[in-house]
Structure 1
Amino acid sequence: MAWDEWDQLKTEALDRQQAGTSHMQLNQYPGDSGPGPAPTTPGSTGDLNVNQQDLSKIGSHAHTLYDQLWDQARLDNTSVDKAASDLASQGFALGSGLQHVSNRWSTQLNSVLDACAHISNHMQVTKKIHDGDEAYILRQVSSIDTLDAGFDERVGTAGGKNPIYGEKK
């Protein structure tokens, strides 16, 4: 945000304050353009579905790209740096420009290589993590069902007094 824009916003806020309008503004969707009501049935939103084949393809493509970049896109720094040094020592401005391009290329290439490695590694562990989450959720739901089943073993009719406590005297 530019300084002029900040000054303009402060002036507009002061004008609104002096005009007697409200001092608070909530940013929200207009009433008729929201995302709609929340789904009422659990199955209407679907379940988390992770397909191992899809994750494997993404990870494999990222790994292949990494290997290709490593083999074909890296500059031979010794020859490029030597050429830049030779040109600079002979008084050519091109030497420093070549060195700058070489440095930038290496920096950008390393960023892309890091991203490819991150994607590849992430795809290898994502399925395992989701399987673990699914197992955890299943254990939690199962324990709730077991606990709930214990409360269904009532003595007497539902809603009635428990005869074990007897009548008041």
Structure 2
Amino acid sequence: MAWDEWEQLKADAATRQPTRTQLNHLPPEPSGGGGNPQGDLAVNQTDLAAIGDAAFELREHFGQAGKHARAASQKAAGGLKSQGFALGGALDHVASRWIDQCRSLLDATAHISNHLDFTKGAHAGDEVHIAGTVSSIATLDAGFSERKSS
């Protein structure tokens, strides 16, 4: 391609509409989307409670099973080491990594359960605040309506 051709292509491109990023999307629905007047995401307290309960139950059961597995692995590792098997050291290493991974999972499930409890309380507080604000507006509107009709 010659230099003149390149310059001509650049000039042609510059005269056209500037390039913009365009994201594909669906046109907005009259109801606000998804058929749900409040949006697509809907979670109720029953759903949150079930997830929190499942996380708590997983934590309890896995905590017990993890302790049992750790104890059995450490006992086996000790027995293998005492008999001179190199595998004993490797099993001991695996058992210590197991302990770390168990703690991580137990912490994560506790975090999920605690966060859902916090979320439930925060949203309950939001609901009280919103209800108070809306009722204040309704009272104010009623006052204007009374003055208008007098």
For 2:88 and 2:19, the matched residues in 1 are separated by 57
| 28, 32, 36: which one aligns with 2:22 | 28
1:83 maps to 78
Structure 1 residue 136 displacement after superposition: 1.0
In 2, Cα distance between the equivalents of 1:66 and 1:132?
A: 28
Q: Cα deviation per residue 1:1-40 (whole Å; 9 max; x = unaligned)?
A: xxxxxxxxxxxxxxxxxx7467x8654313xxx1321545
Indicate how the Cα distance of structure 1 residues 80 and 139 shifts in structure 2: closer, same or farther if over 3 A, else same. same
Identify which of 97, 102, 105 aligns with 1:104: 97
Counterpart code for 1:36: P
* Identical pairs, percent: 34
SS at match of 1:76: helix
Distance 2:143 2:50 in 1: 46
Does residue 37 in structure 1 map to residue 61 in structure 2? no
TM-score normalised over the length of structure 1: 0.56
Structure 1 unaligned spans of 5+:
1-18, 157-169
Contact 1:80 1:102 in 2 (8 A): no
In the TM superposition, what whole-angstrom CA distance separates every residue of 1:22-73 from its partner, at most 9, and x where no partner exists? 7x8654313xxx13215457xx534555233x33332222222111111112
Structure having the larger proportion of residues in helix? 2
The verdict on how the C-alpha distance between 1:25 and 1:91 changes in structure 2, with shifts beyond 3 A counting, is: farther
**Match for residue 66 of structure 1?**
59
Number of residue-to-residue matches in the alignment:
130
After TM superposition, the runs of 4+ consecutive aligned structure 1 residues lying more than 6 A away are: none
CA distance in 1, matches of 2:20, 2:94: 49
Partner secondary structure for residue 28 of structure 1: coil
1:56 aligns with 2:44: no
CA distance in 2, matches of 1:36, 1:56: 35
TM-score, normalising length: structure 2: 0.62
Contact in 2 for aligned 1:59/1:120 (Cα 8 Å):
yes
Larger radius of gyration: 1
Measure the CA separation in 2 of the matches of 1:139 and 1:70: 44
Root-mean-square deviation (CA, aligned residues, Å) is: 3.7
Distance 1:104 1:62, change over 3 A: same
